[in-house]
Amino acid sequence: MRGVLNPLDDYAVHQTPEPVAHPASTDANAYDRYFFNGYDDEGTLVFAVALGVYPNRRIIDAAVTVVHEGRQRSLHASGRMPTDRTVTAVGPIVVEVIEPLSQLRVTASAADLGIEADLTFTATTPVVEEPRYQWRVDQSVVMDLTRMTQFGRWSGSIDLDGTRHIIRPEDHRGCRDRSWGIRPVGDQARGADRHVLPQFFWLWAPVNLDGGGAVHLDVNEYGDGRRWHQAALLVPSLGTDATPDERFDPAAAEWLPGLDHDLDWVPGTRRAATACFDLTGVRGARHRLELEPVTTLLMKGLGYSSADWPHGGWKGELAVGSEAWVVDELDPTDITNVHVQQLVRARLVGPDGSARTGTGVLEILAVNAHEPTGLQGFSDGFTPS
């Protein structure tokens, strides 16, 4: 049987004897995904974009979501994945790599659904590779993936119901990530039940520092607090004349192997009132990152935990739609509303006591009990003891 060739086969990028169109894994949850977020420092406009392909499901989907004045609006698109993997577009949403590891463009053209966007992300830091995520439940591989993260500034515009919001690089920062591998992306038959409800505890905090550079961390823990994944690092700024090699220099960031967290929950929710992280360098230097949430973005606006627009869910050859909510009117303990990114004001205190400020996000997905932070039940809101 002959393989399926596509334009990427003309590049020296192959990892197996198969054409690029053939995934190395036959897992139905194999995926390859773009993610972006952006914001102004006051949190008056917060946006996020995602586009993913699921080669063993032959599906591509994407979403753009925006929070403005407490209202979140989303544009979704889903369809059949093109054989040509250089085509990162579905319906009205397009992601374009202008210059790898430097500049990407996102466009959305759906005036009839109330959302249009033309946004360019320009990197201000090198890209960093988070440690590989590998998580098994019983005998099953649930997650096996790589993620890279990069910080930058945005330019362009977002139109909401005909009102244009200008996005300026001096006012709007954010980050992007690329992840690929295996992770749960939709319903599929997995055999017998495990007799227990799933558990997941995840914190992800990419923060742009004022004056340049960034601090980035993530944590995954079991319900009893045992940690199965973590990363923390200080990321430098890129110069305006940075070479391609400097954009992915693995030695550019300073890794901080010691990481402890202290979260105060908003009562009745699984969202942070404050968050602090104590970070320790390889030679014992201590840093403290303090986060104060400002605005909440529901990740279901990008399809995470969404009943109507799930990742990798077949909705036909092409489906396009929109959603809108007033964030504060939704039940925060509904499982579809538990996964959030909170825009945060940040303060990073260095080993000498000096402090730098910044803005970023704290992403939280906490499902089931988590003993160290006092969460009980499956998606119950925090109850102070």
Task: Summarize pLDDT for 216-254 with one digit per residue, the tens.
Answer: 999 999 999 999 999 999 999 998 788 888 888 888 999
Sign (positive or negative) of CA dihedral 160, 164, 168, 171: negative
> Does residue 33 contact residue 180 with C-beta atoms inside 8 Å?
yes
Mean pLDDT within 292-302: 98
Q: Which CATH class is domain 30-184+197-373?
A: mainly beta
Distance (Å, rounded) from C-alpha 168 to C-alpha 347?
23
User: What pLDDT does 23 receive?
Assistant: 86
User: What pLDDT does 196 receive?
Assistant: 63
Whether residue 16 is predicted with pLDDT greater than 90 in this model: the reply is no
Mean pLDDT within 248-274: 95
How crowded is residue 12: how many other Cβ atoms within 10 Å of its Cβ?
Answer: 5
Task: Summarize pLDDT for 345-377 with one digit per residue, the tens.
Answer: 999 999 999 999 999 999 999 999 999 999 999
User: What pLDDT does 380 receive?
Assistant: 97
Mean pLDDT within 50-64: 97
Mean pLDDT within 18-47: 93
Distance (Å, rounded) from C-alpha 285 to C-alpha 278?
11
Question: How high does pLDDT run on average in the chain?
Answer: 94
Q: Is the pTM of this model over 0.85?
A: yes
Q: For residues 184 and 73, which has the higher predicted lDDT (pLDDT)?
A: 73
Domain boundaries, the chain: 30-184+197-373
Whether residue 378 is predicted with pLDDT greater than 90 in this model: the reply is yes
Q: For residues 4 and 107, which has the higher predicted lDDT (pLDDT)?
A: 107
CA 341 vs CA 22, 301, 362: distances in Å: 34, 11, 6
Task: Summarize pLDDT for 321-342 with one digit per residue, the tens.
Answer: 999 999 999 999 999 999 999 9
CA 285 vs CA 50, 95, 215, 255, 349: distances in Å: 36, 40, 15, 11, 11
Instruction: Identify the three-state secondary structure at position 335.
Output: helix
Q: What is the DSSP string of 159-210?
A: EETTEEEEE-TTTEEEEEEEEEEE---S----SS--SS---EEEEEEEEEET
Whether residue 304 is predicted with pLDDT greater than 80 in this model: the reply is yes
Instruction: Identify the three-state secondary structure at position 117.
Output: strand
Q: What letter would DSSP give residue 242? A: -
* Percentage of the residues of the chain whose pLDDT score is greater than 70: 96
